[in-house]
């Protein structure tokens, strides 16, 4: 399949903004913390008053991308930009809050924010995105599936740009996540990341993969466990290092390991 | 494409179809969990699951998915190596009821892990022995359509040879509380496109199709997915865009991918939730996208008898389109009695209609500004 190239990356992690904020060794830098948290972004506007932290992180990640790529908001607006959102558990906090709200132990969260579609919904409203739209649930392999789907939309001429966004938060469900050792490594690092893809002549392919590629290992060592955001952390690291040409991204989730090739500008 | 289903109006595909054409009403008082304190305690609840293979885990969402898979595989066996079998499963709620259990006194970690929205998909993959891509789609109530579209893409690009695709969702207190608080549920009958419509009722179901490339298809087929598209409204978290822009983009995109013009479309399966805004916006979008053809087409909504089955809805509606082509009958819109001047299309009221639609359009909308459209071609009778 005709492929996709990376035109920009936005990265917010518990370590700070951008790849430069990532430590050399996430495990050591966590200093025993099981979760490295991201603060609720202070976004102005009445519409954001009721929005969840995950929604605001999604919006803030896209703003970080626009800064990284030197693009104006208007570039994304309209039906030419596809939006693909991925998360393994970014809905956990809202679901727990709503579920416990009835018994008085939680808040009275507005029900629509429990849906995974709330995060991309808020992003679409904020940036005026009205193009192709998909939401996948899962870890790193789901993000590779979304990047592949984005490349497909570009190759077919259905979109001129594709925004792939992942948001993972853990703080509100720390007790659950830290016990689920078979699903997630350590430390769990809250991350909101996105990549803007544009058409490219380099081929893009999605295949099974036997072992982590160099970028996956690097992203995990420096970024920590970011689940669905992991491949986007890898892209941010490659971009910060000025790597051009074809990149190989890999990831694993629930026993499935996959790999994807993409071009870096 | 072959299909399997479990629904409030029938425990398998044949019973589902039979329930549609007889106008069965699957809406009852909910019995499986307490509905005290809710304004509305009715919905499309499946009272009994058929005894088949051992149901596996106690998670109801997984049980519904397994029941639909058993029905599907009884009709069309998987015929591809495990690594070439993929899953694309849509859901609005995943295993959220397991999360509620995990949070209750005595809750277990296993239940918490089951609360992840992709847990039932992976349980199904293990049950089927599928080792190809395993996708969980959550475009809210459009999930079942998006999943079929992604399945077609996996096949088209050679990422799999065979995809089990579809959607599911269950009725549970979590979702009933949510829609009840939104005042979206009607205390009356569900009346899609009716002048007196006052809201939706929820239902539970699972629906799956087995998709292969045309050249790999074996045995009898229900039909083909010719085109699909999705779009975001970028307008509101819960309400459709007043101008229907996302849905219109999806409809036009699906028709373009299918290579069909408005004059080629024989039937429309509408989302038709029976909320005042949805049905009006959807009518206007169909009038714009299909032009004069819209007034000449039979259309329906099957949510009057089933309730809104969320992640399963769009897959059930796609299957209904293909069964209508096979049987030469379009089921009527249960609950529609008095025409709304603002919904002035032919929403097949009163009784099923003898017509054999070759090409169908199916539309879906969901929370978060999700829209999806499918264009399907029935294999015919």
Residues of A in contact with B150 (CB under 8 A): 134, 149
- CA-to-CA distance for A28 and A19, rounded, in angstroms? 17
Cβ(B321)–Cβ(B299) below 8 Å = no
Measured between CB atoms, does A258 come within 8 Å of chain B?
A: yes
Measured between CB atoms, does A180 come within 8 Å of chain B?
A: yes
- Give Rg (Cα) of chain B: 19
- Give Rg (Cα) of chain A: 17
Measured between CB atoms, does A203 come within 8 Å of chain B?
A: no
> Who contacts B282 (Cβ-Cβ below 8 Å, separation ≥6)?
B240, B244, B247, B270, B271, B272, B363, B365
N-terminal to C-terminal alpha carbon distance within chain B: 15
Residues of B in contact with A156 (CB under 8 A): 257
Buried b (16+ CB within 10 A) or exposed e, B277-305: ebbbbbbbbbbebbeebbeebbbbbbbbb
Compute the mean pLDDT over every residue in chain A, rounded to the nearest whole number: 92
Nearest CB neighbour to B232, from listed A1, A89, A129: A129
Cβ(A58)–Cβ(A120) below 8 Å = yes
Residues of A in contact with B230 (CB under 8 A): 132-134
The reply to whether residue B137 touches residue A158, judged by beta carbons under 8 angstroms, is no
- CA-to-CA distance for B281 and B274, rounded, in angstroms? 11
- Reference A80, options A195, A167, A196, A2; nearest CA is A196
- CA-to-CA distance for A202 and A154, rounded, in angstroms? 12
Measured between CB atoms, does B370 come within 8 Å of chain A?
A: yes
Using pLDDT thresholds of 50, 70 and 90, give the confidence band for residue A203: confident
In chain B, count of helices (H) and strands (E)?
12, 12
N-terminal to C-terminal alpha carbon distance within chain A: 18
Nearest Cα residue in chain B from A98: B174
Residues of B in contact with A135 (CB under 8 A): 137-139, 146, 368, 370
Cβ(B2)–Cβ(B221) below 8 Å = yes
Residues of A in contact with B238 (CB under 8 A): 112
Handedness of CA B37, B40, B43, B47 (dihedral sign): positive
The ranges assigned to domains in chain A are 2-264
Nearest Cα residue in chain A from B369: A121
Nearest CB neighbour to B230, from listed A133, A152, A176: A133
- Reference B228, options B101, B97, B371; nearest CA is B371
Nearest CB neighbour to A130, from listed B146, B181, B234: B234
- Reference A253, options A221, A214, A227; nearest CA is A227
Residue A106 confidence (pLDDT) above 60: no
pLDDT of residue A209: 87
- CA-to-CA distance for A178 and A168, rounded, in angstroms? 14
Cβ(B95)–Cβ(B168) below 8 Å = no
Cβ(B193)–Cβ(B36) below 8 Å = no
Q: Could you tell me what percent of chain B has a pLDDT over 70?
A: 98
The ranges assigned to domains in chain B are 2-378
Q: Which CATH superfamily is domain A2-264 in?
A: Thiolase/Chalcone synthase (3.40.47.10)
- Reference B232, options A160, A197, A122, A23; nearest CA is A122
pLDDT of residue B268: 98
**Hey, which residues of B are catalytic here?**
141, 271, 308
Measured between CB atoms, does B82 come within 8 Å of chain A?
A: no
As given in the structure block, the two tokens for residue A118 are 């709330």
The reply to whether residue A133 touches residue B370, judged by beta carbons under 8 angstroms, is yes
Q: pLDDT digit string (tens) for B166-225? A: 999 999 999 999 999 999 999 999 999 999 999 999 999 999 999 999 988 887 789 999
Measured between CB atoms, does A50 come within 8 Å of chain B?
A: no
Q: Which CATH superfamily is domain B2-378 in?
A: Thiolase/Chalcone synthase (3.40.47.10)
Residue A108 confidence (pLDDT) above 70: no
Least confident interval from A6-10, B50-54, B249-253: B50-54
Residues of B in contact with A52 (CB under 8 A): none
What's the average model confidence in pLDDT over B142-158?
96
Residue B51 DSSP SS3: coil
Q: What number of C-beta contacts closer than 8 Å exist between A and B?
A: 167
- CA-to-CA distance for B41 and B28, rounded, in angstroms? 9
User: Which residues in B214-321 belong to E strands, given as ranges?
Assistant: 223-232, 267-269, 299-300
* Residues paired with A191 in a beta bridge: A13, A168
- Reference A21, options A173, A169, A190; nearest CA is A190
Residue that has been written with the tokens 């490219």 in this structure: A200
> Who contacts B219 (Cβ-Cβ below 8 Å, separation ≥6)?
B2, B76
Using pLDDT thresholds of 50, 70 and 90, give the confidence band for residue B125: very high
Residue that has been written with the tokens 């822009």 in this structure: B245
Angle, CA B314 vertex, CA B20 and CA A156 arms, to 5°: 140
Nearest Cα residue in chain A from B38: A102
3-class SS letters over chain A: CEEEEEEEEEEEECCEECHHHCCCCHHHHHCCCCEECCCCCCCCCHHHCCCCHHHHHHHHHHHHHHHHHCCCHHHCCECCEEEEEEECCCCHHHHHHHHHHCCCCCCCCCHHHHCCCHHHHHHHHHHCECCCEEEEECCHHHHHHHHHHHHHHHHCCCCCEEEEEEEECCHHHHHHHHHCCCCCCCCEECEEEEEEEEEEEEECCEEECCCCCHHHHHHHHHHCECHHHHHHHHHHHHHHCCCCEEEEEEEEECCEEEEEEEEEC
Residue B160 confidence (pLDDT) above 90: yes
Residue A19 sits at φ, ψ, to 5 deg, of: -65, -30
pLDDT of residue B219: 78
Q: Respond yes or no on whether ipTM tops 0.90.
A: yes
Least confident interval from A174-178, A255-259, B95-99, B115-119: A174-178
User: Which residues in chain B belong to E strands, given as ranges?
Assistant: 2-6, 28-29, 42-43, 85-90, 134-137, 162-169, 205-212, 223-232, 267-269, 299-300, 359-366, 370-378
- CA-to-CA distance for B93 and B117, rounded, in angstroms? 7
Shortest distance, CA B369 to any CA of chain A (angstroms): 6
Q: pLDDT digit string (tens) for B19-70? A: 999 999 999 999 999 999 999 999 999 998 876 555 555 799 999 999 999 9
Residue B280 confidence (pLDDT) above 60: yes
Shortest distance, CA A214 to any CA of chain B (angstroms): 22
Nearest Cα residue in chain B from A158: B253
Handedness of CA B112, B117, B123, B129 (dihedral sign): negative
Residue B378 DSSP SS3: strand
- CA-to-CA distance for A118 and A108, rounded, in angstroms? 16
As given in the structure block, the two tokens for residue A103 are 């018994």
Shortest distance, CA B65 to any CA of chain A (angstroms): 17
Shortest distance, CA A180 to any CA of chain B (angstroms): 7
Cβ(A120)–Cβ(A162) below 8 Å = no
> Who contacts B121 (Cβ-Cβ below 8 Å, separation ≥6)?
B65, B87, B89, B91, B134, B135, B136
Between positions 136 and 195 of B, the ones with CB within 8 A of A are: 136-140, 146, 150, 153, 157, 159, 173-174, 177-179, 181-182
Measured between CB atoms, does A83 come within 8 Å of chain B?
A: yes
pLDDT of residue B218: 81
Cβ(B302)–Cβ(B261) below 8 Å = no
The reply to whether residue B234 touches residue A136, judged by beta carbons under 8 angstroms, is no
């Amino acid at each position: 399949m005709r492929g996709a190239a990376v035109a920009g990356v936005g990265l917010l992690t518990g370590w700070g903004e951008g790849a430069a904020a990532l430590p050399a060794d996430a495990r050591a830098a966590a200093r025993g913390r099981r979760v490295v948290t991201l603060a609720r972004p202070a976004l102005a506007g009445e519409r954001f008053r009721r929005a969840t932290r995950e929604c605001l992180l999604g919006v803030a990640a896209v703003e970080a991308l626009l800064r990284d790529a030197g693009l104006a908001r208007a570039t994304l607006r309209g039906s030419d930009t596809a939006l693909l959102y991925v998360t393994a558990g970014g809905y956990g906090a809202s679901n727990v809050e709503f579920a416990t709200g009835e018994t008085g132990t939680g808040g009275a969260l507005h029900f629509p924010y429990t849906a995974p579609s709330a995060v991309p919904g808020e992003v679409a409203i904020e940036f005026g995105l009205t193009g192709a739209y998909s939401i996948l649930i899962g870890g790193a392999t789901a993000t590779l599936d979304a990047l592949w789907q984005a490349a497909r939309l570009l190759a077919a001429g259905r979109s001129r740009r594709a925004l792939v966004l992942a948001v993972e938060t853990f703080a509100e469900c720390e007790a659950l996540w830290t016990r689920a050792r078979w699903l997630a490594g350590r430390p769990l690092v809250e991350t909101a990341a996105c990549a803007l893809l544009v058409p490219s002549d380099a081929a893009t392919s999605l295949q099974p993969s036997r072992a982590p590629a160099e970028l996956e290992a690097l992203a995990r060592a420096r970024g920590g466990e970011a689940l669905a955001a992991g491949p986007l952390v890898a892209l941010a690291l490659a971009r910060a290092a000025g790597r051009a040409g074809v990149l190989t991204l890999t990831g694993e989730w629930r026993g499935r390991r996959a790999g994807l090739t993409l071009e870096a500008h | 494409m072959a299909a399997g289903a479990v629904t409030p109006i029938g425990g398998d595909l044949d019973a589902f179809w039979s329930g549609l054409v007889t106008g069965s009403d699957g809406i009852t008082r909910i019995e499986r969990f307490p509905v005290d304190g809710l304004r509305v305690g009715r919905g499309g609840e499946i009272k009994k699951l058929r005894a088949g293979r051992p149901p596996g885990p106690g998670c109801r969402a997984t049980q519904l998915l397994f029941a639909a898979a058993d029905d599907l595989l009884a009709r069309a066996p998987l015929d591809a190596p495990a690594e070439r079998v993929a899953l694309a499963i849509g859901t609005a709620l995943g295993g959220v009821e397991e999360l509620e259990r995990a949070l209750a006194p005595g809750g277990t970690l296993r239940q918490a892990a089951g609360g992840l929205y992709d847990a039932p998909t992976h349980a199904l993959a293990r049950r089927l022995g599928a080792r190809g891509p395993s996708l969980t789609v959550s475009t809210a109530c459009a999930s079942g359509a998006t999943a079929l579209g992604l399945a077609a893409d996996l096949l088209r690009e050679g990422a799999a040879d065979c995809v089990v695709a579809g959607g599911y969702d269950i009725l549970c207190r979590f979702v009933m509380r949510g829609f009840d608080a939104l005042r979206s549920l009607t205390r009356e009958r569900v009346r899609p496109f009716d002048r007196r419509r006052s809201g939706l009722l929820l239902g539970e179901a699972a629906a799956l199709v087995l998709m292969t490339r045309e050249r790999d298809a074996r045995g009898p087929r229900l039909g083909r997915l010719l085109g699909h598209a999705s779009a975001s409204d970028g307008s509101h978290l819960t309400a459709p865009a007043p101008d229907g822009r996302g849905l219109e983009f999806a409809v036009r995109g699906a028709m373009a991918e299918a290579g069909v013009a408005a004059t080629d479309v024989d039937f429309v399966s509408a989302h038709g939730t029976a909320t005042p805004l949805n049905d009006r916006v959807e009518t206007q979008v169909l009038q714009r996208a299909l032009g004069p053809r819209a007034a000449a087409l039979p259309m329906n909504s099957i949510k009057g008898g089933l309730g809104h089955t969320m992640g399963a809805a769009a897959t059930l509606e796609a299957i209904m389109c293909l069964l209508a082509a096979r049987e030469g009958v379009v089921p009527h819109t249960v609950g529609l009695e008095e025409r709304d001047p603002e919904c002035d299309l032919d929403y097949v009221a009163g009784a099923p209609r003898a017509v054999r639609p070759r090409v169908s359009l199916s539309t879906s909308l969901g929370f978060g500004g999700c829209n999806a459209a499918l264009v399907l071609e029935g294999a015919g009778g």
